[in-house]
Amino acid sequence: MGEVKTVAVIGAGIMGRGIANAAALGGYDTILEDLLPNALRSAQSEIRANLDKAAALGKIKPADAEAAFRRLAYAGTVEEAARQADLVIEAVPEEMESKIEIFTLLDKICRPTTILASNTSSLSITEIAAVTYRAQKVLGMHFFNPVHKMKLLEVVRALETDDATLATAVEVGRRLGKEVVVIKESPGFVTSRINAMIGNEAFYMLQEGIASAADIDKALKLGLNHPMGPFELVDLVGLDTRLHILEYLHRSLGEKFRPAPLLVQYVKAGRLGRKSGRGVFEYSEASGTKSPELLAKEGN
């Protein structure tokens, strides 16, 4: 099993910044890359705030927070970020063309021993791996949002992933404090497939006028013991990301995953969730990084 010392994270959005934060806390030298300087700037301040908060709450020692912050570096190009990495975790938007572009580039610039992982929520890792000359070193590492709170890591084995690569990813996941499940590649893996189905059904119910968004959330929380309602959750995930997942599941698994027209309409209207200030609900600040208070105002 190859030793991982340096982790590069490509894409500093909701997930990339969380993964970089966790990797630095896990003791890895971590380089976070995004093509948007603004994304890197807001990632840096959010990671600082997260580490400070964890230290203030006594979850980690102040010295560990400081050490994690020092282990983090930022880069504006994939080349700069990934050249020295032992493990690269890609977290760019959920579109196959973007993933393929990044993995083609990573395969050229990374050492042959470097493991390439995707944080995709649903897409085929085998298809992504096929654009590289190291398919046996490519796999899925599916983290959950928010990364610092969610315990699970789905490690996804693609057709060609070898045992050593799988074992290294499991080991890294454990060092990041995650419970790991290893699954065989399949569209949407375990979690996104179930979650997309529930979330899509909730949009159909909303468009049919069966109940208000707030009441559908309340029903699932209090009646089914879900920690979050489907609309609170989709606002956190991003409606655009959820739509990409559903479109892929619809193409690969069939009619039962056809995206609800109301979800499609919200995305067209720019209602992407917390990150745009408005999704199903409205938020007090137009920021994806500050956990603004839910106004619980119905958004249809």
Ligand X SMILES: NC(=O)c1ccc[n+]([C@@H]2O[C@H](COP(=O)([O-])OP(=O)(O)OC[C@H]3O[C@@H](n4cnc5c(N)ncnc54)[C@H](O)[C@@H]3O)[C@@H](O)[C@H]2O)c1
Asked if 34 interacts with ligand X (CB under 6 A), we say: yes
Of the residues 4, 7, 8, 15, which one makes contact with ligand X according to CB under 6 A: 15
Residue pair 197/170 in contact (Cβ under 8 Å)? The answer is no
Residue pair 144/119 in contact (Cβ under 8 Å)? The answer is no
Of the residues 121, 132, 195, 200, which one makes contact with ligand X according to CB under 6 A: 121
Three-state secondary structure call for residue 54: helix
Q: Which of 218, 224, 165, 151 has its CA nearest to residue 194?
A: 224
Question: In whole angstroms, how close is the CB of 18 to ligand X at the nearest point?
Answer: 8
Asked if 35 interacts with ligand X (CB under 6 A), we say: yes
User: Helices 14-25 & 62-70, crossing angle to 10 degrees?
Assistant: 120
Bridge partners, 141 (sequence order): 155
Of the residues 52, 83, 84, 93, which one makes contact with ligand X according to CB under 6 A: 93
Of the residues 20, 22, 31, 39, which one makes contact with ligand X according to CB under 6 A: 39
Nearer to ligand X, 14 or 139 (CB): 14
Question: In whole angstroms, how close is the CB of 108 to ligand X at the nearest point?
Answer: 15
Site string for ligand X, 179-218 (x = CB under 6 A): ----------------------------------------
Bridge partners, 294 (sequence order): 283
Question: In whole angstroms, how close is the CB of 118 to ligand X at the nearest point?
Answer: 7
Three-state secondary structure call for residue 142: strand
Question: In whole angstroms, how close is the CB of 3 to ligand X at the nearest point?
Answer: 26
Three-state secondary structure call for residue 85: coil
Of the residues 14, 128, 135, 239, which one makes contact with ligand X according to CB under 6 A: 14
Three-state secondary structure call for residue 265: helix
Asked if 145 interacts with ligand X (CB under 6 A), we say: yes
Asked if 88 interacts with ligand X (CB under 6 A), we say: no
Question: In whole angstroms, how close is the CB of 4 to ligand X at the nearest point?
Answer: 20
Question: In whole angstroms, how close is the CB of 237 to ligand X at the nearest point?
Answer: 4
Q: Under 8 Å CB-to-CB from 72, ≥6 apart: which residues?
A: 20, 21, 24, 30, 31, 32, 44, 47
- Give the pair of three-digit tokens for residue 197: 């189905």
Number of neighbouring beta carbons within 10 Å of residue 186: 13
The residue at minimum Cβ distance from ligand X is 13
Asked if 13 interacts with ligand X (CB under 6 A), we say: yes
Nearer to ligand X, 88 or 92 (CB): 92
Of the residues 237, 249, 260, 263, which one makes contact with ligand X according to CB under 6 A: 237
Asked if 170 interacts with ligand X (CB under 6 A), we say: no
Bridge partners, 155 (sequence order): 141, 182
Long-range CB pairs of 63-71, under 8 A, 24+ apart, other chains included: 64/25, 68/21, 68/24, 68/25, 69/24, 71/24, 71/27, 71/28, 71/29, 71/30
Question: In whole angstroms, how close is the CB of 105 to ligand X at the nearest point?
Answer: 9
- Give the pair of three-digit tokens for residue 76: 């504006």
- For the chain, how are helix, strand and coil distributed in percent, rounded to 5? 50, 15, 35
Of the residues 91, 115, 139, 202, which one makes contact with ligand X according to CB under 6 A: 91
Q: How many residues bind ligand X (CB under 6 A)?
A: 28
Nearer to ligand X, 14 or 125 (CB): 14
| Measured distance CA(204)–CA(259) in Å, rounded | 9
Interacting residues with ligand X (CB under 6 A): 10-16, 33-36, 39, 91-94, 98, 102, 119-121, 142-145, 237-238, 241
